[in-house]
Structure 1
């Protein structure tokens, strides 16, 4: 099986490059991860209208799904591939967001085998699902902050992780701006992902992603 995985930012790519080989046998299966520059919004009418060069994931999703559908259709019959789309839930309603994504997929004339995986509330929830990994990466992490987190809670997830592991916490990072936050998220991905125990992660949305990869790979 070959996996084409779309994520909304570079930190997601960094983490998944480390995590995916822990989930599937990369001697038997292949994967490629494509980072975008933000999540954006599902376009009205379910047709991409924004500039593709801006690389905003949801804005381009109708075009992307149809493009992958045509590409996958051209593969030999014995070559199996699946499109995995990973989105942060943020402050959306999970059931409504999933319904929108499925409606978008169903509206595409040419569509590949597709699986949506939603990180609840944000990708950092997958790190916080493994507090032992966070502590190994950041031995001086604030235990009280980590202990106050409930898995897949809607609570400002990256801010919670920043308060636990970053000097000055989320308040300092927020003042430094979006680029500084993005760089810090990439550092978290590099440092925490190698220590993650994928079998015992407590984030339900991470386990859903893990189990879907194994389902498609037959492992």
Structure 2
């Protein structure tokens, strides 16, 4: 079981959100740190070099790395494979919770982007911005968060006037992420991140015996 996880993420808003969400996902005895690698293009450019750097010391400690990037309009499987291949090329092992395979690196994709995760917990949106948003879970095409096209733009329209000039994604993360119920979220990509992180921090023998 790992005792510390480093998260490499795309953008300051994802860093802000994870800093608020991870204490509710990780056990108390597992530490974490979140690093913003910049825009998506910057993230993808830096990722291989980061993997080579981790390969010099990660195999010798009980630590792991999680990469989190927005899918946007890209193919999720292809994007995940790109991250996984770079890790393997550096000599690191890739974690696959669905295959019950332990590893040092866990790639995760936010579909279509971070803001879809907020639609996955409309109660958190309502707590942050008013009860009228609670109705989003009933209709308005919001019941399948990861299928919402451009969720940031959709939220910007719904929250018009609450963020001044345009949607402030960092403030949005501060307002909503801290209100989210980790186990209630209906975004499949958020659940894959949550469950993958829990897999990393679960004792292997106990996990095997519970399957």
TM surpasses 0.5: yes
**Aligned-pair CA distance for 1:93:** 1.3
Partner of 2:175 in structure 1?
191
**Aligned-pair CA distance for 1:68:** 1.2
Partner of 1:61 in structure 2?
47
Alpha carbons of structure 1 residues 23 and 145: separation in structure 2 relative to 1, 3 Å: closer
Partner of 1:160 in structure 2?
154
**Aligned-pair CA distance for 1:98:** 2.1
Partner of 2:77 in structure 1?
95
TM-score by length of 2: 0.81
Alpha carbons of structure 1 residues 132 and 109: separation in structure 2 relative to 1, 3 Å: same
Partner of 1:38 in structure 2?
39
Partner of 1:43 in structure 2?
none
Q: What CA deviation, in whole Å up to 9, does each residue of 1:31-53 have, x standing for no partner? A: 0000122110xxxxxxxxxxxxx
**Aligned-pair CA distance for 1:142:** 5.1
Listed as ranges, the gaps of 5+ residues in structure 1 are 41-55, 174-180
Partner of 2:98 in structure 1?
none
Partner of 1:71 in structure 2?
57
Which of residues 14, 21, 44 is equivalent to 2:16?
Answer: 14
* RMSD between aligned residues: 2.2
Partner of 2:209 in structure 1?
none
Listed as ranges, the gaps of 5+ residues in structure 2 are 94-102, 204-211
Does the CA contact (< 8 Å) of 1:134 and 1:192 recur in 2? yes
In 1, Cα distance between the equivalents of 2:82 and 2:38? 21
Does the CA contact (< 8 Å) of 2:70 and 2:112 recur in 1? yes
Does the CA contact (< 8 Å) of 1:91 and 1:154 recur in 2? no
Q: Runs ≥4 in structure 1, deviation > 3 angstroms?
A: 109-112, 140-147
In 2, Cα distance between the equivalents of 1:163 and 1:212? 32
Q: How does 1:95-134 map to 2 (within 5 A)?
A: 95-109=77-91, 113-134=104-125
Does the CA contact (< 8 Å) of 1:88 and 1:121 recur in 2? yes
Which of residues 128, 140, 147 is equivalent to 1:137?
Answer: 128
Number of aligned residue pairs:
188
In 2, Cα distance between the equivalents of 1:193 and 1:158? 14
TM-score by length of 1: 0.78
**Aligned-pair CA distance for 1:168:** 8.5
